[in-house]
Amino acid sequence: MPNRIEIRTSNWVLRLPADWSPVEDQKQGFHFESADGNKGLYIATHIIGADHPSSVEELAEWFIAADIATLDQMDGFSWATRARSAESDAGVCTALLDRYAQAQDYRFIGKILARPGQVVRASFQDYRCASYANSNAYFAPIIASLEFVAVTPEGAGIRFH
């Protein structure tokens, strides 16, 4: 991806457009915004206890359901679900939720990565989504770039490359 920055933690990696930057006021997880402030990303890693009985698929579905409930509670917003999916491979479940409030030009895309012991929850937001097709073209490579990294005891923290 040209003009991209790679953000890598000990749990996940993501490539954002070069004009995106971290927002310092985030209390939990990470928050990034585009230079014009029209697009944003919130991302957090949740540690799941070993005694938790849920499968990775059930964990991913729980986080997607929580996103739906939160969006549905927003006063004055009527959300249309444009896409919802979940796929599992090699012990990892990847779930996607794409919702659009057309009257407010607001788009929400949630991506959940779940593996034993960890869930990464990312919410990509287009605050001025006048064109769903343009928003989709913009976000597709960013969303596709979010993936787990191999579990290692080293390398905690965030690094920009």
pLDDT of residue 24: 75
pTM of the model: 0.89
The backbone region for 155, taken as left when phi is positive above 0, alpha when psi lies in -120 to 50, beta otherwise, is: left
pLDDT digits (tens, 9 = 90+) for 39-66: 999 999 999 987 877 899 999 999 999 9
Q: What fold, for 44-148?
A: Protein Transport Mog1p; Chain A (3.40.1000)
Q: Which parts of the chain sit beneath pLDDT 70?
A: 1-2, 25-27, 152-161
pLDDT value of position 158: 47
Residue 124's pLDDT is 98
Which letter, b or e, does each residue of 130-152 get, where b requires 16 or more Cβ atoms within 10 Å of its Cβ?
eebeebbebbeebbebbebeeee
Collect all residues with Cβ–Cβ distance below 8 Å to 30 and sequence separation of at least 6. Answer: 7, 22, 41, 42, 43, 44, 158
- Nearest-CA neighbor of 79 among 64, 100, 98? 100
Tokens 């209390």 belong to which residue?
27
